[in-house]
Amino acid sequence: MKKLARHKYLLISCLSIVLILLTWYLCVDILNMVSGSAFPKLTKTISTFIKKFTTAAPDGATLTVHFFNSIKVALWGYVMGVIVGVPLGILMAWFRKFDMFARPLFDLIRPIPGIAWIPLFILMFGIGVLPKALVIFLGVLIPSTVNAYTGIKQTSDVHLWVGDVFGASNAQKLFKIAIPTATPMIFTGLRVAMGSAWSALVAAELLASSSGLGYLIQIGRSISRSDLVLVGMICIGVTGALLDELLHLVEIRVAKGMNAK
Amino acid sequence: MQMEQRKKIEPVIQCDNLCKTFRTPGGDQEVIRNISLDVQENEFVVLFGPGQCGKTTFLNMIAGLEKSTAGTVTVSRKCVTEPGPQRGVVFQSVALFPWLTTMGNVEYGLKMAGVKKEERQKRAQKYIDLVGLQGFENTFPVELSGGMKQRVGIARAYCIEPEVMLLDEPFGALDAQTRYLMQEELERIWQTAKRTVVFVTNNIEEALYLADRIIVLSPCPCSIVKEFEIDLPRPRNYTSQEFLHLRKEIDATINSST
């Protein structure tokens, strides 16, 4: 019974994707409503997608190479951003003096969109991995910090009282009460950060790169190959969705009892 | 006779001329005025008063969570200045840790005290059994009913074996049926594992069912109106003549004081 319901749910979820593909096929492939250079045929896109796994032309690398170049940079920036951002948010929320010290700088950096850093980083480091990783780092740092901060601040006074009653030290209250309280919020931050890492990456690759999915899209545009553009975009979309789901699965395991849905 | 015997022993909790005034931007607000109260070992004392009268503040001062403006609290001759494992507290909002299972919550205090895992699970299990939650050791609070959560809260406070148990309207948020059940359960638990208890409530039936002694408190600023020794045999009957008679008497006291 439950299994059947799950299948039904899956069917409904797939329906939206099937519908958009059908519309695409109908409008572009059959009715020829737009020219091929403006928007590719569905069949053409699929065949390009398959061919791109083995052929490097016309952009210099296979899809797999582009994909791993992108993922590598994204993960570097992401991991560094999380490693710095989450503890920063926790410390700012827990220690008043540290908050006073770090907040002005943080508030100054926060409104600057990640993309605005790209020109500076290109001037400083050229178009290698480093400038892109730095842009992603900043894009990840901010949501990680903000969410960890908010999460710690949500710690209830009564929970801290329980800690006091049992004679918990300040460190025990931080690690055994405040951080568990903040865990769901920290995960929300990690997922938001995953989104911004991905978009920062593509933005950086559009401007400063010689490979990667963003670069593939950019080349596709410059040689009027809309099918290449679409292949790049679809890869970005699918990868982003999968990474988000992965984080969600980790969250369910880590934040047990916290109503992670 | 019983009274005389008690008087000879030194009380566990001694509150001496306690006063509390909150300083707010809108002016000082006096919450507690000159409360002096002694509680004997293994005595079940109920603080009974109207809502918002300051009973929770009074209890928090015994717990050490709130500092008195004047006067002192001593528990077993030690002056209370901060909260500690000597005094177990059951909070009105239960305040279980949602990320811990029943076992995790109950053993929490022992963990803070540095008790080894095997030993603390054994001791926690004893109190989980005592409150009747065997089989729910690995359940998270979100899956427990209100009454069950309170049982975990009671087991958690009991588990560190404090000298004094302080309960702040623990059954206030329960439905009437569960409330009766929990009162009976608490009495059973207390009979099995005797402790000195201070219990706060605004429910007169609850007070009469549980108390050795009821302290009737006045509305804000809170002070003691009258004390009632309740020596009805336990477990008590909510509808017995004596029960109802005492209930009327306490009702009359409240009405004449307000």
| Confidence check: pLDDT of B8 > 80 | no
pLDDT of residue A196: 87
Please say whether the beta carbons of B123 and B131 come within 8 A.
no
The tokens for A253 are 């395991």
Tell if the pTM clears 0.90, that is, is over it: no
The distance from CA A252 to its chain's CA centroid, rounded to whole angstroms, is 18
pLDDT of residue B221: 86
Residues 155-174 of B with CB under 8 A from A: 160
Q: In what order do the strands lie in the sheet with B164-168?
A: B87-90, B164-168, B196-201, B44-48, B213-217, B224-229
Cβ–Cβ of B113/A166 closer than 8 Å?
yes
> pLDDT, tens digit, for every residue of A118-177?
889 889 988 788 888 999 999 999 999 999 999 999 999 999 999 999 999 999 999 999
Alpha carbon distance B243, A175 (integer Å) = 49
Please say whether the beta carbons of A143 and A196 come within 8 A.
yes
CA of B96: which chain A residue's CA is closest?
A159
- Which residues of chain A make contact with B85, given a CB cutoff of 8 A? 165-167
- Domains of chain A plus CATH, in order, are 53-260 (1.10.3720.10)
Tell whether B252 is within 8 A of chain A (Cβ): no
The stretch A247-260 carries a mean pLDDT of 83
Alpha carbon distance B77, B195 (integer Å) = 17
Please say whether the beta carbons of B230 and B211 come within 8 A.
yes
Tell whether A1 is within 8 A of chain B (Cβ): no
Q: Which of A162, A164, A165 to mutate to test binding with chain B, by most B CBs within 10 Å of its CB?
A: A165
Residues 133-162 of A with CB under 8 A from B: 156, 158-159, 161-162
Rounded to 5 degrees, what are φ and ψ at B249?
A: -65, -45
Alpha carbon distance B110, A167 (integer Å) = 10
The share of chain A scoring above pLDDT 90, in percent, equals 51
* Shortest Cα–Cα distance, A218 to chain B (Å): 47
- Residue reference for tokens 């737009």: A34
pLDDT of residue B19: 93
- Which residues of chain B make contact with A257, given a CB cutoff of 8 A? 98-101, 140-142
DSSP string of A89-127, one letter each residue: HHHHHH-HHHHHHHHHHHHHHTTS-GGGGHHHHHHHHTT
* Amino acid symbol at B105: N
